[in-house]
Structure 1
Amino acid sequence: MTDALSKLLSTRDWLMADGATGTTLFNMGLQSGDAPELWNADHPDRIRTLYQGPVDAGSDIFLTNTFGGNASRLKLHDAQDRVRELNRLGAELGREVADKAGRPVVVAGSVGPTGEIMAPMGPLTHELAVEMFHEQAEGLKEGGADVLWVETISAPEEYKAAAEAARLAGMPWAGTMSFDTAGRTMMGVTSADMVTMVNKLAHKPLAFGANCGVGSSDLLRTVLGFTAQGPEIPVIAKGNAGIPKYQDGHIHYDGTPELMAKYAVMARDAGAKIIGGCCGTTTEHLKAMRAALEGTPTGPRPTLEQIAETLGGFSSASDGTGEGAPEARTRRRRRG
């Protein structure tokens, strides 16, 4: 049987994903330092509301509240023995919401980074990473997630470990990396590097791409880098709603719904097939994005100049690729 995401991808020119999980939960009262995943057990009604928002705004895909649901991150909250439970609950709540939507909506089981540095730079071995991701994947599978959604990854080794875990769980998956360091991930991966890596994976994702990062302009530059390689696998674009600014004791993102609507259309025209938002993206942004995607005819591939003029300038002069780009090793750094 064809999985739910592949079915949708085969019948549509584009799909809209969801927006920001963290931003929404903080607006609901989550405190800094708390584990959002505990709310899957403690505040299920709030998590249903979290999921219902993007569905009502027109999203075809929403991510579960399980981004930090691996043993390494949950250990910080003395909840490392609850990995399977919290992931199962997060997916079950999502399944409830999706099944009542009246249209096909994909429940994507969010799998974020472990928070550890992969060997040989750090202590996390490939085997341990696979074990952690596999445990999380089995919980999401039990809860009824349609697909695993690996996101905000920086290290290629961690991306590969997540791919192996998805294979062990017998689950389809999609995976994005965060290009937040002058067009590269924190561990030095470029857009071209990611396409090469994805093509070599034994258990390939249904879709791949970029999420989070610096701003929507930078993210679209990365998307152009993907599509320039001519990948056969669909591309994902999940950019932040503008740039974060600290105001009145809180982080606010300056991207308006109108700006994110323009971003969504440009992402589609740049070649992305799955388009959503990341940090700062609310249901109001999503509604505007959906309306723009439905109401704006497909246009030519945007240029870098058009992206900068429409969405704002880039955070760096280069996307990390091409002649004159800094060597990857200059982008590699330890978390201190």
Structure 2
Amino acid sequence: MVNDLPGLLRERILILDGAMGTMLQQNGMNPGCCPELYGIEHEEVLFDIHKQYREAGADIIQTNTFGGSRFKLAEYGLADRVTEINAAAVSIARRAAAPHGLVAASIGPTGKLLRPMGDVTFDDLYAAFAEQMIACAQAGADLISIETMTDIGEMRAALIAAQQNTRLPVIAHMTFEDGGRTMTGTDPVTAVIIMEALQPLAIGANCSGGARELLPVIQEMSRHTRLCISVEPNAGLPFLVEGQTVFPDTPEEMAEYALRLKEAGANIIGGCCGTTPVHIQAIARALKGLAPSAKTAHTYPALASRSHYVMIGSDQPLAFIGERINPTARKKLAQDIKDGHMQIVVDEARKQVECGAPVLDVNMGVPGIDEVQAMHKAVTMIQDALDIPIAIDSTNPEAVEEGLKNFVGRPLINSTTGEDKNLDIILPLAKKYGAAVLGLCIGDEGIPDRAEERLQVARKIYQRALEYGLRKEDIFIDCLVKTASAQQEQVMETIQAVKMVKEDLGVGTVLGVSNVSHGLPARDILNSAYLTMAWAAGLDLPIMNPFEERMMAANRAVAVLLNRDANSTKYIENYRDYKVDDKPKIRHPLCEKCNIPDLVSAEINITGTSGVSRSAETISESDDTTKEKIKQAILRGEKENISVLIEAALQEGQLKPLDIVNQAMIPGIEEAGEMYDKKRYFLPQLMMAAETMKRAFAIIKPLLTVEGQTNTGVIVLATVEGDIHDIGKNIVAVLLENYGFKVVDLGKDVPTAVILERAAQEDADIIGLSALMTTTMPRMQEIVDGVKERGLRARVMVGGAVLNQEYADQIGADAYSEDARSAVLTAQRLLGIFQ
């Protein structure tokens, strides 16, 4: 059956099993137990659960290994038993699924967050997933089911680990919150682009509320992929009735929604939290004999960051790659890279985004440096500061791979030539990391003169890429621009080559347009004319300088003329106030990451040779006050720069430490919070702002003590007894500390008595409680009652994925917060701050 999974999925809907945790609890597992260990110590209980699902109609049985990674097992002191526990679980599932059922190794999140939000690296996650997956594969699993991933970076590490260490088909499920994004800000389309590039068997979503909540997510995914789609909804959102967890969706309701999910494009349907064999039986009966819906999505070449994508094609908005992060002939930028500061690198990235660049080229080619380490730092600092796709530009394969590992998204590799030695190094990297790749029309004899010869090189690159397992939409071709000053007769050969590649291969096309004007005056005039010609020939993605207003104007005009600016909307927005005698203006979209105003002036230097206007070079370098600079540094998450700004402000002596806090730092973190509330920031940006605030506060805090400044309030935080989840609580702690609260974090799985005793010792203003498991929610009631019995003055604030305002009211809690940002606002409200 496993050998023909793709064929089966074209013929009928396959049924996954349902919940495991709640089933184990119903069969005697106590809160706080390790489910994976309990399953192998109570083998017949686990076997019976699997068997019930199989008899209910599940085609695929998922192993009891959701928390079987080294990181998760370490929380129970079981890190040295990864192979044993996973292998035993696969063996039990294999026996229950026999003779015809499939066994999927269930791989859940590690409970860790990638830097800078957390403390683990890509390599850490990759190693943990590889270890678990190898154990499952060797024990006889038929496929891998990655589940409940809240961060696309962690999903990416899991998918790469699966592809590199096993030969098993993979189903990849993300988990989405109420707003249609993951906890770290990824929307369904961006998730599709990143996951699909790693070529799993199926992609989809699980948990995320009930089927009605997941339906729009699956519909959106289906519009953008031709891969099979898998979905595992909860049996609704849980609540407590007389201390017992109740999932509201009946088997009949889930069966009805299963039909709607099938129509939306799902090929594999099962259940998550709260579903039972009865639910799965109802779903299986409803879908019996039904063929999957046809896959009709039209896919495009696309690049993506963690929470933003750029689609590239003739009926998509025009896109280009900003070329400014390249140290060639730029001494200050080269020195910044050599010194390892990367502040000018980040500034250049930010300025290009402000001017409308949708993708950034990142080149660290400074002689004599460790380019691998430089690429690592540049990529991480750029993606920490900005949410934008990148092109990793290097001739050093190790530097390319370092960039690929550390960029959370789908980047472009810039580049490979048509020479075998380069293709054999770069193409496997693109396949491994799900990157797009740019092929230069350079053969063994260099750059061919004639367009037909360049097409031959492009054909070779294209064919070799397919042989390595890349898809058509992964391939871009650069036909290479020669300079009009030295090879004028070659200029139009490039335009012809672009046209031929587009017609013959149909892949994405790239050109470094500005090369055409090298050595000539008024370069921006030539550049913009050539750019317009290239667009007409089929160019998809020019590499260009977004500070050149003539080229930006050419892009806007071309978008109208090629019908890629509907109703000329963006053109009108940019030129509605245009007058012939006005200075030209660069009008760009509001940079949501930086809150930069959408209109800046740029004088065009038509007599210079650089093609870059003087004022465009200094965009955002206005005479901001010291306070504004500190505020913007916090808002933008400039961790490397904030210490310098704070020290300078203190040395100047014009601002008191308390003024810096109240008039610069707090407004910065407040605005970051407001951006988060408006969905213009996501968790990574909010955490970067908080970390920057933390660095600033570390310098200011000793001086505030001298001034007599006290804490805003004391908050005791804990994950309640029996619950070992603490990611959300840890994020809350970071934000609260940066708003001036003294946070006493007791950790996870904390007994009620310990929480109450510590709250009394600290004379806490607030007790903040977290729970992710419905079975541990009753501990919160105990703590609320204990506060009253002891006569403590602390208010109780509760939160967690399984909680809501209704439950908080039911147990008598003083407040409920749905996420880290609302926890800060709620704490301030409880203490009467900033009313």
Q: How far is 1:172 from its partner? A: 2.3
2:5 aligned partner, one-letter code: L
Aligned-pair identity in percent equals 35
| Among candidates 145, 150, 155, match of residue 149 of structure 1 | 145
Equivalent position of 1:86 in the other structure? 85
Indicate the RMSD between aligned Cα atoms, in angstroms. 2.5
Cα distance in 2 for partners of 1:110, 1:88 equals 12
CA contact (8 A) 2:134 2:165 kept: yes
Cα distance in 2 for partners of 1:47, 1:4 equals 28
| Among candidates 219, 224, 228, match of residue 223 of structure 2 | 228
| Among candidates 111, 124, 133, match of residue 128 of structure 1 | 124
1:178 aligned partner, one-letter code: T
SS in 1 for 2:17: coil
Matched, 1:106 2:105: no
Cα distance in 2 for partners of 1:65, 1:298 equals 28
Choose 1 or 2 for highest CA Rg.
2
Equivalent position of 1:330 in the other structure? 682
Q: How far is 1:326 from its partner? A: 5.0
Equivalent position of 1:174 in the other structure? 171
SS in 1 for 2:681: helix
Equivalent position of 1:198 in the other structure? 195
Matched, 1:213 2:208: yes
Q: How far is 1:223 from its partner? A: 0.3
Cα distance in 2 for partners of 1:64, 1:275 equals 16
TM-score by length of 2: 0.35
SS in 2 for 1:213: strand
Cα distance in 1 for partners of 2:289, 2:251 equals 15
Cα distance in 2 for partners of 1:111, 1:297 equals 28
1:112 aligned partner, one-letter code: G
Deviations 1:211-232 (A, max 9, x none): 0012211101100010111x12
TM-score by length of 1: 0.86
Cα distance in 1 for partners of 2:7, 2:89 equals 23
Cα distance in 2 for partners of 1:226, 1:299 equals 14
Matches within 5 A, 1:60-99: 60-99=59-98
Matches within 5 A, 1:5-44: 5-6=5-6, 8-10=8-10, 12-44=11-43
Cα distance in 1 for partners of 2:123, 2:291 equals 47
Which stretch of the first structure deviates more once superposed, 292-301 or 183-192?
292-301
Cα distance in 1 for partners of 2:187, 2:209 equals 15
CA contact (8 A) 2:12 2:289 kept: no
CA separation of 1:8/1:97 partners in 2, compared to 1, >3 Å: closer, same or farther? farther
Cα distance in 1 for partners of 2:59, 2:231 equals 14
Equivalent position of 2:154 in the other structure? 158
CA separation of 1:125/1:255 partners in 2, compared to 1, >3 Å: closer, same or farther? same
Q: How far is 1:158 from its partner? A: 0.5
SS in 2 for 1:163: helix
* Structure 1: unaligned runs, 5 residues or longer: 302-319
Deviations 1:260-314 (A, max 9, x none): 110111111111000111111111111111111127798999xxxxxxxxxxxxx
SS in 2 for 1:59: coil
1:8 aligned partner, one-letter code: L
CA contact (8 A) 1:5 1:146 kept: no
CA separation of 1:299/1:88 partners in 2, compared to 1, >3 Å: closer, same or farther? closer
CA separation of 1:119/1:252 partners in 2, compared to 1, >3 Å: closer, same or farther? same
CA separation of 1:250/1:5 partners in 2, compared to 1, >3 Å: closer, same or farther? farther
1:259 aligned partner, one-letter code: E
CA contact (8 A) 1:5 1:106 kept: no
Equivalent position of 1:269 in the other structure? 263
Matches within 5 A, 1:242-281: 242-281=236-275
Deviations 1:68-124 (A, max 9, x none): 001111111100100111100111111111223xxx321000000000011222111
Q: How far is 1:330 from its partner? A: 3.4
Q: How far is 1:200 from its partner? A: 2.3
* Structure 2: unaligned runs, 5 residues or longer: 296-307, 310-591, 593-676, 688-727, 730-835
Cα distance in 2 for partners of 1:146, 1:94 equals 11
1:94 aligned partner, one-letter code: A
Equivalent position of 1:305 in the other structure? none
